[in-house]
A = this chain, B = another copy of it.
Amino acid sequence: MTAIEKPHLRAHGVPPLKPRTSLNDVARKAKVSPMTASRVFADPERVKEATRLRVLEVAGRLGYRKDLYASINSKKRGRLPADRTILFNCRFEQLLEPSTFPFFSLVYFHFLRAIMKRGWRTVLTDVEADPASFVNAGAGDALVLCGDVDGAALGVAERQAAGTPILALCAGPVAPHTIDPDDARGGAMAAEYFHARGHRHVAVFFSPKNRNHVDRRTAFEDRLAALDPAARIDAVPMDLTRDRVRTDALAEATLSGYFGDLGALPDSVFVVNSYSAHLVWRYLRKRGVSVPGQIGFLGYDNPPFYQETEVPLSRIWFDPGAVGQEAAARVAVLLEKPASRPNRILLPVSLIDCASVLPKTPGTQSA
C-alpha cells in the first residue's frame, strides 16, 4: 500500500496516489461474488438486506469507492458513448481578474449550462498558463477556445485536440469554426450614432493588438468617412497589457498625451472596449470634464459601471450569454458532424442609448 511513482504523471505535476480498494477486495472480504458486490452499489434493491449490509460494512471499512472509469468502460457492452467531455479553454486571468465585469465567466457559464442540458460535461483549461494540466485533462470530444489565445498555446491545443472539432469564441479567426461579435456592424453603428448627432470630431480609443478592437475601429472610420468625408477622427491606440497596473499606467500616459491641457476637446470619444472605457471615463471625471456636457461618450460592452455614472453612458454591446449559448449549439452540430465545413458566426450587436452624446446644433459644431 505504498505510494506509487508514475513517471508520466510526475512529469505533469500529478502527485502519486495510494492504490485503491477494488470491488474484488470488498467481495472477497465480504465472502460474496464480485457481481453481488457490484449490485450493492448499482442496484441495491436486488440484494438481500443482510448481504447488502455486510458488503457495505466491509466497503466502508476498506474505504472502497467505485472506479468511474472502469464502470463506464465496462458499460460499453451496450455501446455507451465513451466520454462526453468538452474542453473549454480560456486564460485564467481573464476569468480571475474581470477588470470591469466578468465577460468571459458569463460566456463560460452560459456555455456550460447549455451544453450540460445536452448531456455533456465540461473541463476548463488554460493551455497557456499550464500546458501540462491541459494535456493532463485528457482527450475531449471538442475543444472550445475562448478569448485571446497565444500562438504557441494555440499550437499545443490544436495538436492535442487533433481530430476533434475546434471552436473559437471571441478570438478572431484562429480556428476553422468561430463565433465573434459583429464588430464591423458595431463600428458602423457608432459612426451613425455620432453622425446623427452632428458630432464631427471623434477620438477612437482602441487596443491595436486585439483583432476585435481593430475591426471595430476600422469599420467606424470607414463608415464615418462615408457619411461625412470632412469628419475628423483621432485614432488613439491604447494598449491593453496582461498586467493591470501597467495597463493603467500606460493609459494614463496615453490619455495625458492625447488630451494635453484639455484645451481643444473632440466632440466625443468612442472607446471600443469596456476596460479602456472605464479608464477614459475616470480620467475625464478626475479632471472635471463633464460628460456629456463638454464631451460625448460612447463605450463598448455592457458592464454595470456604464449605468452607475451620474449620467449613464451609451454603449454598443453584445450578449455574453448569447455567445455561450450559440457556442453550445454550434458544438452540438460539430459533434454530430465533425467534418462540417468552416463557418464563422457573427453575433448581432446593439446600441444602448443613454444620451451621453448630445445633439449639436449646427451653429456650435466644431470645425
Contact = CB atoms under 8 A, between A and B. Distances in A.
Interface of A: 4, 6, 9, 12-15, 17, 19-20, 59-60, 63-70, 72-73, 76, 78-85, 92, 95-96, 98, 100-102, 105-106, 109-110, 112-113, 116-119, 121-126, 129-130, 133, 136-139, 141, 163-164, 304-305, 308-309, 321, 338-339
Given A81-B17, A82-B68, A119 B12 contact: yes
A68 B102 contact: no
Contact residues of A: prevailing secondary structure: loop
B83 A67 contact: yes
Nearest to A94: B109
A98 B102 contact: yes
A30 to B, nearest CB: 16
Contacts of A17: 81
30 contacts: A4-B78, A4-B80, A14-B119, A19-B79, A20-B79, A59-B163, A63-B338, A65-B139, A65-B141, A65-B163, A67-B76, A67-B82, A68-B82, A68-B85, A68-B138, A68-B139, A69-B76, A70-B73, A70-B76, A70-B82, A92-B113, A95-B109, A96-B110, A96-B321, A98-B102, A100-B304, A105-B109, A113-B126, A113-B129, A119-B133
A200 to B, nearest CB: 31
Contacts of A137: 121
A63 B164 CA distance: 9
B82 A109 contact: no
Given A12-B119, A304-B305, A139 B95 contact: no
Nearest to A109: B95
Contacts of A13: 117, 119
A139 B121 CA distance: 13
A309 B304 CA distance: 13
A69 B83 contact: yes
Given A9-B119, A69-B73, A81-B17, A105 B95 contact: yes
Contacts of A338: 63
A123 to B, nearest CB: 5
Given A12-B119, A67-B83, A121-B123, 15 more contacts: A6-B78, A9-B119, A14-B84, A14-B119, A17-B81, A63-B339, A67-B76, A69-B73, A69-B82, A69-B83, A98-B105, A101-B102, A116-B133, A119-B136, A122-B124
A74 to B, nearest CB: 8
User: Which of A112, A141, A339 has the most chain B CB atoms closer than 10 A to its own CB?
Assistant: A112
Given A17-B81, A119-B133, A136-B119, A96 B109 contact: yes
A118 B338 CA distance: 33
A60 B69 CA distance: 25
A309 B285 CA distance: 12
A344 B204 CA distance: 52
